[in-house]
Chains A and B, each alone.
Chain A
Amino acid sequence: MALDSKTDTKPQQFKVVGTRPLRPDGIDKVTGRARFGADMSAPGMLVGLVLRSPHPHARIRSIDTSAAEALTGVHAVVTRADFGPPSDPGVADVLDNCMAGDNALYDGHAVAAVAAISGKVARQALKLIKVDYQPLPHVTDVDAAMAPDAPALHEGRADETVPAGMSPNVMARHEFGHGDIDAGLSQADRVLERTYRTEATHQGYIEPHACLATMNADGQADLWCCTQGHYMVRNTCAAILGIEQGQLRVTASEIGGGFGGKTTVFLEPVALKLSQKSGRPVKMVMSRSEVLRATGPTASSSIDVRIGMTRDGRITAGFAELRYQGGAYPGSPVDMGSMSAFAPYDLENVRTVGFDVVTNRPKQAAYRAPGAPMAAFAVESAIDELARGFGLDPLEVRLKNAAREGTRASYGPTYPAIGLEATLRTAKDHPHWSAPLGPNQGRGVACGFWFNFGGDTCVSLNITPDGTVTLSEGNPDIGGSRASMSMMAAEELGIPYDRVRTVIADTGSLGQNEVTDGSRVTFAVGLATIEAARAAKREMCKRAAQVWGIDEDAVIWEDGAARPAGPNAGQHPPMSLAEIAAIASNTGGPIAGHFEVNAEGAGVSFATHMVDTEVDPDTGAVKILRYTVFQDAGKAVHPSYVEGQFQGGAVQGIGWALNEAYIYGEDGILQNPGFLDYRIPVASDLPMIDTVILEIPNPGHPYGVRGVGETSIVPPLAAVANSVSDAAGVRMTSLPMSPPKLLAAIRSGQS
């Protein structure tokens, strides 16, 4: 359903929302009691392990599993031959990624799996599986994969949008925009053309994928796993295995980070199949190297930008061609990158063209605002270079061109009330902007945009006999959402926060819930929670009306109690939630509210980031000196966790900008499948990350909430690049700005 705007124009007064209560799962998580994916076991459990391709691209001529099956202690071996065609063709690529079919498409691609009584026996069994590979030519670079003679992964799979004559690795072409680029560029005082490149980065969640599966011969199955969406896991696994969704109950463990990477399945269908075959529960846990080799990093990109600017800082036209490789299957987020690239700006002439390219790398998975950070890196770098070239203030130039309410977005629609301008003005007035810089230091700013979304949501709110409230929702708590749901329920019901307990229900207990992604949870699940609370309030008002013998329309809910609506309703003392709950059995039975919705109408959000860096001109080392995030949250339900999202996104972006990268050799093998050389930021790399929360209410949410999780990773790539370029005196157009790359740029700039 579509939701009507529910927010009045006047700011709302909140009692619970906007405060900082302790999260309800805090004690479990600081004592080690919280159970994550790998923390569950079952009686009679077997250990499942996966055999992975050592080749970047190979035809699988045959797989001989007989010796492994004969090994004592081995209870099941599966290959692709054990899986029939999926019942939904939409998951064919997912299955092929979980277990290779005719071809191994990347280094680390699963080709077989075993279940055995111990990890030790399972490891021995893997060595006994004989795979006859015929190595094929491979390609891992996006521009190389677009060459006409590049080795092809999926000949003939391009969709109808791809012009004839392109490389068979181009799967789709996307185009957005309006106006006339050439006309716009002709009005510019300078047209900047640059090519920008970013490497693939991994979401880098600290918890490897893990699951525990039990599947019976009759098709009934239970699955425990760490995921961003257990309903998605249920539906995908059911389709892959050809079983009914209702027969598969999935329970989400606590989740040790996801950032988009746990929005699909890898081990789960394999574990279920191993369990079915062995008749025993099967637990599977990935190693870190498996996580890096075979689960989704984001796309790497190569982007050409052409932007025209007048000398007073007006952007006359913006064009970008974006080429993203998304690994071995179609679906890189180049469409999102193409839509978001110029989204912060009010442009008469704008066009983006995106190409979705396949290569011999693991299938990309969503990563926090998928596709947007690299596009923002390109566009925000170009704008910065133009602005500085004219001697203009980079914040002023952005303000001059900023999208605002009524601007036609680069991706088409007209913006409602948005917060970009507020973030820019706040940034300009912030002491950080005017703080002095020392030698070899630089300052950079960049803006970022993300859509956010809603999706299917189902919650159930139950009033217990003693007047406490349990809220069941279907989205794993990835960063404090139990707290924010409890807060919104408490706010709406007018009761204290600690009277509400939020639980994450399994797939057997609620209807469909969309994955925890798209920054949707506080928005969509929050909205459903508020509506469920409103339903419960209506029922409680009805019960009070019954007791008072008045019309139910004559009862209102205020401050946690039913009250007569006015003097005409009669003199009745307020009846509290606890009082109504206590007599629920006498007034009709248990009281509950529930709400089911496809929560459309999420509000887009914007951020501006500001960062100071210091560059060591002799080594190319970069130090982050100071960082400030300015972002519109709509309404910050629990400001501490909003700040946490801002800070975490910024730091992931810093990693992407400076040192994180998938490194492939000529041989197509991933060279850094571990946290030693896949270098995510460590505590000593960073200063405190300052945050400024702005609140421009989203009219699509009762409390004005916008998603906050993703936007924060969009600006930092460009902000850091602009800062480093300022500090080093050379323009950096390729990420990561690793010390060897930066030093080479500095030295070639000097010579």
Chain B
Amino acid sequence: MSKIHVTTTINGDPVEYLCDAEETLLDVLRDHLGLTGSKEGCGTGDCGACSVTVDGRLVCSCLMLGAEAAGREIGTIEGMAKGDQLHPLQQKFIEHAALQCGICTPGILVAAKSLLDHNPDPSEEETRYWLAGNLCRCTGYDKIIRAVLDAAKDMREAS
């Protein structure tokens, strides 16, 4: 069984890889491309730790085949900071102590950025529902929600 050759774009960089048909995008990112910032917490789309964007749309990379990425624009946590400039969400997560163990953090940041891309001024409730697919077991979500709302406020003021 031959592997599939995929040409795609990840975090703005052109990328080519070979994958098996059944390998997920998450498998490809982690095992073939060394992009281990996306985590596998469940493999069934229930925890959101593997969140990435595909053509700007938030998805679980564990629920998408690597082969499907051909020609798409993939965004992962590794592309969120620009050089040594953290994204405001990343900065606020550190400032608000919005992470304890940090395993869910990359997925939550990707999801939160997707939220603010869609809605620069989300309410607390909108934020909570948008992030409902991102499980965090450490924080009880309180500081995560505060960090997202605070980042949104700063980003609105800066724009």
Interface assignment of A11: CB less than 8 Å from any CB of chain B: no
B92, closest chain A residue (CB): A30
Contact A688 B38 (CB under 8 A): no
Among B38, B101, B104, point to the contact of A479 (Cβ < 8 A). Answer: B101
Once bound together, how far apart are the Cα atoms of A424 and B69, in whole Å? 57
User: Which residues of B16-51 have CB atoms within 8 Å of chain A's CB atoms?
Assistant: 20, 22, 30, 35-44, 46-47, 49
Contact B135 A644 (CB under 8 A): no
Binary flags per residue of A673-697, CB closer than 8 Å to B gives 1, else 0: 0111000111110101100000000
Among A120, A206, A255, A478, point to the contact of B49 (Cβ < 8 A). Answer: A206
User: Which residues of A504-548 have CB atoms within 8 Å of chain B's CB atoms?
Assistant: none
Contact A206 B100 (CB under 8 A): no
Interface assignment of A399: CB less than 8 Å from any CB of chain B: no
Interface assignment of B109: CB less than 8 Å from any CB of chain A: yes
Once bound together, how far apart are the Cα atoms of A288 and B36, in whole Å? 18
Residues of A within 8 A of B44 (CB): 288, 674-676
User: Which residues of B90-146 have CB atoms within 8 Å of chain A's CB atoms?
Assistant: 90-91, 93-97, 99-106, 109, 125, 127-129, 131-146
Contact A480 B97 (CB under 8 A): yes
Contact B137 A34 (CB under 8 A): no
A298 to chain B, nearest CB (A): 14
Among A480, A674, A686, point to the contact of B140 (Cβ < 8 A). Answer: A686
Given contacts A287-B43, A644-B100, contact A30 B138 (CB under 8 A): no
Contact B131 A648 (CB under 8 A): no
Residues of A within 8 A of B86 (CB): 27, 30-31
Binary flags per residue of A132-172, CB closer than 8 Å to B gives 1, else 0: 00000000000000000000000000000000000000000
A654, closest chain B residue (CB): B140
Residue among B46, B86, B142 with the highest chain A CB neighbour number at 10 A? B142
A70 to chain B, nearest CB (A): 20
B76, closest chain A residue (CB): A32
Binary flags per residue of A258-294, CB closer than 8 Å to B gives 1, else 0: 1100000000000000000000000001011000000
B144 to chain A, nearest CB (A): 7
Interface assignment of A25: CB less than 8 Å from any CB of chain B: yes
Interface assignment of B152: CB less than 8 Å from any CB of chain A: no
How many chain A residues sit at the interface, stated as a range, is 35 or more
B148 to chain A, nearest CB (A): 10
Interface assignment of A474: CB less than 8 Å from any CB of chain B: no
Residues of B within 8 A of A641 (CB): 97, 100
Contact A640 B77 (CB under 8 A): no
Contact A30 B103 (CB under 8 A): no
Among B20, B36, B137, B143, point to the contact of A257 (Cβ < 8 A). Answer: B137
Contact B140 A206 (CB under 8 A): no
Residues of A contacting B: mostly: loop
Among B22, B40, B102, point to the contact of A254 (Cβ < 8 A). Answer: B102
User: Which residues of A629-674 have CB atoms within 8 Å of chain B's CB atoms?
Assistant: 638, 640-641, 643-645, 647-648, 650-652, 674
Contact B96 A256 (CB under 8 A): no
User: Which residues of B63-84 have CB atoms within 8 Å of chain A's CB atoms?
Assistant: 76-78, 80-81
Contact A206 B104 (CB under 8 A): yes
Residues of A within 8 A of B78 (CB): 31-32
Interface assignment of A26: CB less than 8 Å from any CB of chain B: yes
Residues of B within 8 A of A255 (CB): 101
A20, closest chain B residue (CB): B97
Among A27, A207, A643, A686, point to the contact of B101 (Cβ < 8 A). Answer: A207
Binding site for B on A (CB under 8 A): 20, 22-23, 25-27, 29-36, 38-39, 120, 203-208, 254-259, 285, 287-288, 478-480, 638, 640-641, 643-645, 647-648, 650-652, 674-676, 680-684, 686, 688-689
4 closest Cβ contacts across the A-B interface?
A: A32-B37, A256-B103, A651-B140, A29-B102
29 contacts between A and B (CB under 8 A): A27-B86, A29-B99, A30-B109, A31-B86, A32-B76, A32-B78, A32-B106, A35-B36, A36-B36, A36-B39, A39-B30, A206-B39, A206-B101, A206-B104, A207-B101, A208-B41, A256-B41, A256-B102, A478-B100, A643-B143, A645-B100, A674-B46, A675-B44, A676-B44, A681-B140, A681-B141, A682-B132, A683-B136, A684-B128
